[in-house]
Amino acid sequence: MSNNETNVTSNVLEASGMSKKRKRKRSRNKNPTNPDNQGEISSESLPNGQVKQQKTASKDGKIIEGIPGVVGDIPVTQLSENPKLERDTRGQAYDGNKKGHFKKPTFESKKNKSFDNYKSKDNKTVKFFERTNDEDEDYHRPTNMSRSQRADKANELLEIRKTLPIYQHKDEILKYVAENQVVVIIGETGSGKSTQIPQFLISSNKGQIAVTQPRRVAASSLAQRVSEEYGCVLGEEVGYQVRFSNVSNNKLTKLKYLTDGMLLREIMLDNKLNKYSCIVIDEAHERTILTDMILGFLKQLINSGERPDLKVIVMSATLNAELFSQFFQAPILFIEGRTYPVAKYYLTDSSEDIVDTIVRAAVQINLSEQQGDILCFLPGQEEIDTAVNILSTIAPDLPKEAPIIVPLPLYAALSPSQQSKIFETLPKNRRKVILATNIAETSITVSGVRYVIDSGLRKVKVWKHELGLSSLLTTTISQASAKQRAGRAGREAPGKVFRLYSEKIYQSELPKDQESEIMRNDIVLPILTLKKIGVDDLIYWPWLEHPGETAILSALSTLYSLGALDNNGKITSLGYKMAVLPLPPQLSAVLITAMNSGVLKDVIDIVSCISVDNLVLNVTTGDGEMRDEINSKRRNYCPLGCRYGDLIAFKEYFQYFEELNSMGNTEELKSWCSELHFNFKGFKNVLRIRQQLKDYMFGTIRQDDSINRDEKDQQLNNLKSQLVPDYDDITIKKPLDIPNILKSFLKGYITNTAIGMPDRSYRTCTNGQLISIHPSSNLFGKSNLDAIMYIEYVFTSKGYARNVSAIELSWLQDVAPHILGGTKVTIKD
């Protein structure tokens, strides 16, 4: 069977499984409540639930009849243009009453349609083409061009650069930078701030310039572009540095793009940042934890007076620049951008079922609007899958005069090959309808989009320090985010945004800005980082936004129980090692424990697997049969994992991957991955992370002077005997030392344990909360285990443990005797 066939089949299977999905959806639409019922945002308080659903016709008496049984009677057509003008964007063609275009492919009837039935009717089935290019395209590499070719290209690009609005302000910008230590620059999208301002600075700066980006792809592609404009080889005067890839040269590079995480790492090595004369923080408005940390650190450095020569430029896209300006007491420069106008349309009434409304809106736009693709923002995977199913079901029955709709899902848990379908060019008379999560807001840019449909919703993970769990909540987006989503329609030509909420809600209900990451996340790692760079007074450290004492104390408590801090709150030598490892502190503690109990090799493998998101893809394609089939196939590859849980299963899967990999048979490897729904690229990443962890484990031990010499030699020998002989020789198979492997994990996750109760439920060791094994786990359905340990505790419809292992009560006794006595780990002062 060819790849093409596979894809078409799975598409149809998706379509046939949707009624089940929808039933589930209804139950999930209940409030994602928290056990403590505090500060949560429920779906009922969302804008889409705010206005009572209106089932009657609009003023002009027209409503879309829609697809009976599927979409109900929600009047989507009443879109009014901002500010006051009422406008009906609906064309003539799709008045359901008049022409009967929708031939009642109701949900109920469609579900019974067989594959053949569907196929015969659908001569227009979209063909998907599997990408054949195996190259790793993640990173940019220097190109082979002669010096004169590069100069020609740079001159060519200079003409374009000169047309950018920002180019006119070059002298003014440099003047501000010369006169102030910190400057805040607001640059609208399309202003060219990220490429131009750093280049302006090269001429007036003697040392290196660092430009931070929140994402890796941004860092590497900006460096690529700027090196062309500058006329140099990438990695020489202009370079970049991200995890796994350093295309820069310490002596030659004047301008380096790096991720914010990389810069924070450099800060840990040199807390005066001596090698840089200028730091540019780009995309500061995104407020990631790491940029917030860097900004706080820079303020501390400037206040200390140790780097009066250091220039800092904070670049932000939205108007929240006052925050940065006040924080640094710095002037603000505003640079206008250049994007196409985007007309805004609002719903006069909100709808209760966002999926139905979005389907209707997409169908309507397809019929009434000029060419251009449609990008829809939905909160999550489930809504997207449902919408894709409905659209692909009704697509063949839509009017012939309109383009054929090609629905395409886009979210992080999709495999890279599925994601790349959005970039393929379609034959004429077809229109992409991309149904995406927030991933399309910043991370992935799709060209050809002229229309955006915005549900106004997103999913957000919120951490509760008191409970040690995270909740996944569906909540409204901010105005800033709504603008960002709208902007996606105006990148290449004038566009339109259709907001599935009223203008009143936009104005009065949506917050101006999103809550920043640092306020809704676990800050154990940030606190450890601060301890590492010598900050003792965490409460009065210059936080851009203070995370609050509770969060800090809770993080300190965790670090203390992991052994990273001593009784006085000082960082220990163990803490130093943990801070350097590129892992959450809990996992660092696991690695260090494993080293001492002789299971480092296996634990590194497992930790590397855990570090890759979406390694084991969830099976979303429709019916339960397919899911059961894949699950049982997977079980063949993890006999021990079936008994001991997901961590051991990771090890077994990875072991099999490595065996195939060592034989060099990529095709077989890929088909094994797709058969079991594993992420091939993800496994490749596991290999890279494992190598890095191995390097760090050697490096940290060698550099650590706090350990005496004998101990150091002992540890080195330990490491060598574990790592060197058989690391690259996977033909040597030793039986897994499961008790010691899992006990190492217990050292980092002792608070993430639960005991099996007589009533076959599980209750957490720390505070007796009810917890269930997540359906994605190998141990799902097992209710007779003595005790479990889990890597993550998330609350969705109820409390779930993810990445679960079966453990023995005696291990708990060994690792932490106090936990069974009900004593909580607290800071001793």
Interacting residues toward DNA by CB under 7 A: 24, 27-28, 214-217, 242-243, 259-262, 265, 288, 290, 380-382, 411-413, 437-439, 443, 458-461, 472, 525, 582-584, 611, 613, 618-619, 624, 627, 772, 774-776, 780-781, 792, 794, 796-798, 800, 802
Place of tokens 């989503």: 485
Report the residue number, 216 or 421, with the smaller CB distance to DNA: 216
What is the number of other CB atoms lying within 10 angstroms of the CB of residue 548?
A: 15
Please say which residue, 565 or 581, places its beta carbon nearer to DNA: 581
Q: Which of 549, 175, 443, 408 is nearest to 541 (CA)?
A: 549
* Closest approach of DNA to the CB of residue 775, in Å: 4
Residue 794 C-beta: closest distance to DNA, Å: 5
- What is the closest distance, in whole angstroms, from the C-beta atom of residue 665 to DNA in the complex? 29
∠ CA 257-263-264, rounded to 5°: 160
Q: Which is nearer to DNA, 364 or 764 (CB)?
A: 764
204 vs 636 by CB, closer to DNA: 636
Contact (Cβ atoms closer than 8 angstroms) between residue 13 and residue 475: no
Cβ distance to DNA smaller for residue 66 or 261: 261
Shortest Å distance, C-beta 583 to DNA: 6
**By the 8 A CB rule, do 289 and 523 touch?**
yes
Q: How far is the CB of 393 from DNA (least distance, A)?
A: 21
Q: Is it true that the peptide bond before 83 is cis, omega within 30 degrees of 0?
A: yes
Closest separation between CB of residue 434 and DNA, Å?
13
C-alpha to C-alpha distance for 51 and 648, rounded to whole angstroms: 50
Q: Residues with Cβ < 8 Å from 680, sequence gap 6 or more? A: 415, 669, 670, 673, 674
Question: Smallest distance, Å, CB 488 to DNA?
Answer: 15
Rounded to a whole number of angstroms, the minimum distance from the CB of residue 410 to DNA is 8
Helix pair angle (18-28, 3-16), 10° resolution = 50
Cβ proximity to DNA: between 166 and 518 the closer is 518
Give the C-alpha distances (Å, rounded to integers) separating 118 from 113, 626, 732. 7, 19, 51
- CA dist 807 and 673 (Å) reads 29
CB of residue 288 vs DNA: minimum separation in angstroms? 7
Smaller CB separation from DNA, 582 or 598:
582
For the bound state, the minimum distance from the C-beta of residue 444 to DNA, rounded and expressed in Å, comes to: 7
Cα–Cα dist 579/532, whole Å = 7
Q: Is 750 helix (H, G, I), strand (E, B) or coil?
A: coil
Structure tokens at 100: 């009967």
> Which residues are registered as beta bridge partners of 678?
616
Number of C-beta neighbours around residue 145 at 10 A: 14
Least distance between DNA and beta carbon 413 (Å): 5
Listed in sequence order, the residues at least 6 apart from 452 whose beta carbon sits closer than 8 Å to its beta carbon are: 342, 374, 375, 376, 377, 485, 486, 488, 489, 495, 496, 497, 498
Number of neighbouring beta carbons within 10 Å of residue 578: 29
Cβ proximity to DNA, 105 vs 575, nearer residue: 575
Q: Residue 623 is encoded by which pair of tokens?
A: 């019916």
Q: What angle do CA 692, 442, 385 make, to 5 degrees?
A: 95
**CB within 8 Å of 156: residues ≥ 6 apart:** none
In sequence order, the β-bridge partners of residue 159 are none
Among residues 245 and 740, whose Cβ is nearest to DNA? 245
Q: What are phi and psi of 27, to 5 degrees?
A: -70, -30
Q: Which is nearer to DNA, 460 or 741 (CB)?
A: 460
Q: What are phi and psi of 346, to 5 degrees?
A: -120, 155
Decide whether 32 or 66 has the Cβ nearer to DNA.
Answer: 32
Task: Identify which of residues 217 and 825 has a Cβ nearer to DNA in the complex.
Answer: 217
State the nearest-atom distance from the C-beta of 89 to DNA, in Å: 29
